[in-house]
Amino acid sequence: MESLIDKFFSRTSNLDYVTKNIKKISIDTEVDKLFDAINSFSDESELRYVGGCIRKIINKEKVDDIDLATNLTPADVSQALKKNNINFYETGIEHGTITAVINNQKFEITSLRKDVVTDGRHAKIEFSNDWREDASRRDFSINSIYSDKEGNLFDPYEGRQDVLAGKIKFIGDAEKRIKEDYLRIVRYVRFFLKYSKNKHDPRILKKIKINLDGIKNLSSERLLDELRKIIRSNGLENISKDKESVELLRLIFPQILKINSFEKLNEISKKIYLEADFSFLLAVMIIDNTDNADYFIYKFNISKKDQKRIKYLDNFYKSKVNKNTFTEKNLVKKIYFDGKESVLDILNYKILTSKKIDQKLIDLKNTFENKDLPKFPIETKNLMQEYDLVEGKTLGKKLKLLEEFWVNNDFNISKDQIDRIVRN
Considering the domain architecture, whether residues 36 and 178 belong to the same structural domain is answered as no
Is the predicted pLDDT of residue 226 greater than 70, yes or no? yes
User: DSSP secondary-structure letter at 6?
Assistant: I
Considering the domain architecture, whether residues 137 and 52 belong to the same structural domain is answered as yes
Looking up residue 81, the CATH number of its domain turns out to be 3.30.460.10
Residue type, 177: R
pLDDT tens across 362-390, in order?
A: 999 999 998 888 889 999 998 898 888 88
Considering the domain architecture, whether residues 333 and 419 belong to the same structural domain is answered as no
Considering the domain architecture, whether residues 264 and 349 belong to the same structural domain is answered as yes
Considering the domain architecture, whether residues 89 and 227 belong to the same structural domain is answered as no
Return the pLDDT at 8. 41
Q: Which of 172, 189, 221 is the last residue of a domain?
A: 172
Considering the domain architecture, whether residues 236 and 310 belong to the same structural domain is answered as no
Pairwise CA distance, residues 46 & 43, whole Å: 9
Considering the domain architecture, whether residues 239 and 284 belong to the same structural domain is answered as no
pLDDT range class, residue 13, cuts 50, 70, 90? very low
Per the structure, how many domains does the chain have? 4
Contacts of 398 (CB under 8 A, 6+ apart): 383, 389, 421, 422
Considering the domain architecture, whether residues 56 and 151 belong to the same structural domain is answered as yes
Is the predicted pLDDT of residue 67 greater than 60, yes or no? yes
Considering the domain architecture, whether residues 225 and 307 belong to the same structural domain is answered as no
More confident residue, 12 or 404: 404
Return the pLDDT at 120. 62
Return the pLDDT at 122. 66
pLDDT tens across 104-142, in order?
A: 999 999 999 887 666 666 667 788 899 999 999 999 999
Q: Which of 207, 222, 253 is the last residue of a domain?
A: 253
Average pLDDT estimate for 313-338: 89
**pTM for the structure as a whole:** 0.84
Inter-axis angle of helices 183-195 and 220-232, to 10 degrees? 0
Return the pLDDT at 6. 52
- Percent of the chain exceeding pLDDT 90 equals 63
Considering the domain architecture, whether residues 163 and 186 belong to the same structural domain is answered as no
Is the predicted pLDDT of residue 291 greater than 80, yes or no? yes
Q: Which of 143, 172, 201 is the last residue of a domain?
A: 172
Pairwise CA distance, residues 56 & 22, whole Å: 10
Range of the domain at 12: 1-172
Considering the domain architecture, whether residues 13 and 124 belong to the same structural domain is answered as yes
Return the pLDDT at 287. 94
